[in-house]
Structures are given as structure tokens and as C-alpha cells.
């Protein structure tokens, strides 16, 4: 099968897109019909390095707008991770060895440990927090702009790696093993807008989390969307903290 980049070139040609315009729409069925590839795989662009050439050259990126439909929109879809911040040595509150915690190497394992050890509550300064959100669900309807392009999103499947709830706060976490140069803003922006509708009276705190196996570092970028109707308003600059594990080992 041709590379994903070549298949997207084929799609753009077949759809005869006017590349002077900022917005195009395409369905999952059209992607499959033209490319003969799985739409879910064709649509996976989690960092700018994943963008097919035809997207990079023309300044586009891909966003889901409803179940089975995508927008190809011109603009900056990605946020470059800031330099790592303060390094703290976190002493785990777990007073015995978690024998089941080191059996794999997924981001969920490290994220769970950062919560169970008390690191998340310590770094966020919020306690107690309770695990209340995880996995996939369909979004509420909301609208926003990318540059000057307005998009209306509804019933899009979104996934939260971990969602924690406090008395007046909801923390939404996107997690990765290893630290990328950038990430697609959608991974924080869509859950943020969805849960602002689900729980309008609580503050929503988006967090990007990475674990670095070689250095055994847990990294947290704590963000704020200053305007929930603007895709690119990921300001002011976030709090970035790196924590080393304390006395209780996660992986032997």
C-alpha cells in the first residue's frame, strides 16, 4: 500500500480541492473509497511530523467535526511543548510495592502511578482528586474558530486518558510515553469544551503528561485556554514541572 502521504495526495487530486481556500470537508467513507485505506489510520495526525506532504505544503491540518466527517482547515493545529520546568523529587505516598504496576510500558501505567503516588495532587495543588473520567465518549456540540475559519463540532468521538474531579475543578490529561516536540491541540481542546458543557460550574484544567523511561521522569504541562472559542488560545504560558519518582519504584 502506498504511503499515507501519497494516499492523501491522491485524495486531494480526486476531490479537486481549491487550494486557495481555507476549508474543505471530507467523510470517512470518501477517504476509504479513494484511498482504500482505513480512515482511522489516515486521520491519525497527533503531531506536526505526522502531517502528509500535501497538508504541510498548503498549511492545512485535519479536525473531526462530526462522527464520520472531517474538516481540512488551514491554520496552526499543533502546539510546541515548552522547555521542561522545575525538577522536583517526589516522595511517593505509597508505602508498599505495587507488584502489578510494572507489568507493562503504556502511558496509562505511568499516569496511574503519578496519581496513586500523589504526584498529580502535589503538582496541581488540588486535593483530594478522584478518578472520574476515562476512555471514549461522544462530544457535546460547540463551535470555535481556527484563524478566521469557524467550525461547528458535535458528536465527535473523543478520548480522555485520565480525568480527575475535585470539589471545584476537573483535570483532563493527555498522556504520552516519551516527550514529543509538539502535539495536536485538539487532544486537549475538544475534551475541554465538552466538559465545560457537562460541568459548567467547575474549572477545567488541561494537562499534557509525558513519561521518559530512560530518565524516569514524569513531566506535566498545565495549560489554560484563555478563550474556549479560539482553537489557538493556549495562553498564558503553562506551568511545566518534571518529577522524579521517590522511594517507591514503579518499574524494577
Please, what are the domains in the chain?
4-75 (1.10.10), 86-244 (3.40.1350)
Pick left, alpha or beta for residue 149 (phi over 0 → left; psi -120 to 50 → alpha; otherwise beta).
beta
Distant-in-sequence, close-in-space partners of 43: CB < 8 Å, separation ≥ 6: 28, 31, 62, 64, 70
Cα-Cα-Cα-Cα dihedral of 88, 93, 96, 100, to 10°? -70
With a cut of 50, list the residues of the chain below it in pLDDT. Answer: 1, 247-252
For residue 102, the model assigns a pLDDT of 66
How does pLDDT run across 153-176, given as a tens digit for each residue? 999 999 999 999 999 999 999 999
- Name the residue among 66, 63, 67 with its Cα closest to residue 153: 66
How does pLDDT run across 73-119, given as a tens digit for each residue? 999 999 999 988 778 888 888 888 877 776 767 788 888 888 988 98
For residue 166, the model assigns a pLDDT of 97
For residue 185, the model assigns a pLDDT of 97
Rg of the chain on CA atoms, in Å? 19
For residue 248, the model assigns a pLDDT of 37
The length of the chain is: 252
Could you tell me the pTM of the whole model?
0.92
For residue 183, the model assigns a pLDDT of 97
Amino acid at each position: 500500500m502506498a504511503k499515507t502521504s501519497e494516499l492523501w495526495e491522491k485524495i486531494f487530486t480526486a476531490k479537486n480541492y481549491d487550494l486557495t481556500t481555507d476549508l474543505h470537508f471530507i467523510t470517512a467513507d470518501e477517504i476509504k473509497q479513494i484511498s482504500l485505506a482505513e480512515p482511522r489510520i489516515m486521520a491519525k495526525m497527533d503531531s506536526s511530523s505526522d502531517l502528509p506532504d500535501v497538508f504541510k505544503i498548503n498549511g492545512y491540518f485535519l479536525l473531526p467535526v462530526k462522527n464520520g466527517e472531517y474538516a481540512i482547515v488551514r491554520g496552526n493545529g499543533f502546539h510546541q511543548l515548552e522547555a521542561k520546568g522545575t525538577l522536583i523529587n517526589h516522595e511517593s505516598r505509597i508505602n508498599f510495592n505495587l507488584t502489578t504496576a510494572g507489568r507493562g510500558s503504556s502511558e496509562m501505567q505511568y499516569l496511574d502511578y503519578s496519581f496513586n503516588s500523589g504526584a498529580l495532587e502535589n503538582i496541581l495543588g488540588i486535593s483530594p482528586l478522584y478518578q472520574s473520567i476515562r476512555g471514549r465518549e461522544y462530544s457535546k456540540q460547540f463551535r470555535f474558530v481556527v484563524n478566521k475559519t469557524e467550525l461547528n463540532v458535535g458528536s465527535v468521538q473523543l478520548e480522555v486518558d485520565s480525568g480527575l474531579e475535585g470539589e471545584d475543578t476537573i483535570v483532563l490529561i493527555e498522556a504520552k510515553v516519551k516527550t514529543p516536540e509538539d502535539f495536536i491541540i485538539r487532544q486537549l481542546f475538544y475534551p475541554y469544551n465538552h466538559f465545560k458543557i457537562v460541568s459548567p460550574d467547575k474549572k477545567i484544567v488541561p494537562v499534557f503528561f509525558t513519561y521518559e523511561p530512560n530518565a524516569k521522569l514524569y513531566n506535566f504541562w498545565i495549560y489554560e485556554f484563555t478563550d474556549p472559542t479560539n482553537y489557538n488560545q493556549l495562553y498564558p504560558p503553562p506551568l511545566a514541572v518534571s518529577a522524579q519518582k521517590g522511594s517507591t519504584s514503579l518499574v524494577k
